[in-house]
Structure 1
Amino acid sequence: MRVPVLTYHAQNIAGNDYAGNDLVAFGEDLRLIDDLGLRIVPLQSVVARLLGRSDEDLTGCVALSCDDGTDFDVRDLRDPTWGPQRSLKGRMDDFIAERGADAQPGLHLTAFVVASPMARTDIDAQCLSGQGWMSEDWWAQAAASGRFAIENHSWDHNHDAIRFPGIAGMARGDFHQVDDRERARAEVADAARYIDQRTAPRRTSLFCYPFGHVPDYLLREYFPRHGDEHGMLAAVSDGACPVTPASDRWLLPRYIRGWHWKSPQDLEAILRDATGR
Structure 2
Amino acid sequence: MTDLTHSVDADRALKAKHRAMWASGNYPELASDLISSLGPVLVEAVGVRQGDRVLDIAAGSGNASIPAALAGGTVIASDLTPELFDEGRRQAAERGVELEWREADAEALPFADGEFDVVISCIGVMFAPHHRVAADELLRVCRQGGRIGLLSWTPGGFVGQMLATMKPYAAAPPPGAEPPPLWGDERHVRALLGDRVNGVELTTGTVTIDRFATPDEFRQYFASHYGPTIAAYRNVGDDPERTAALDADLVALAERYDQGSDGGLVLEWEYLLLTARR
Structure with more of its chain in strand, by fraction:
2
Output the TM-score relative to the length of structure 1: 0.33
Q: Which of the pair is proportionally richer in helix?
A: 2
Q: TM-score, normalised by structure 2?
A: 0.33
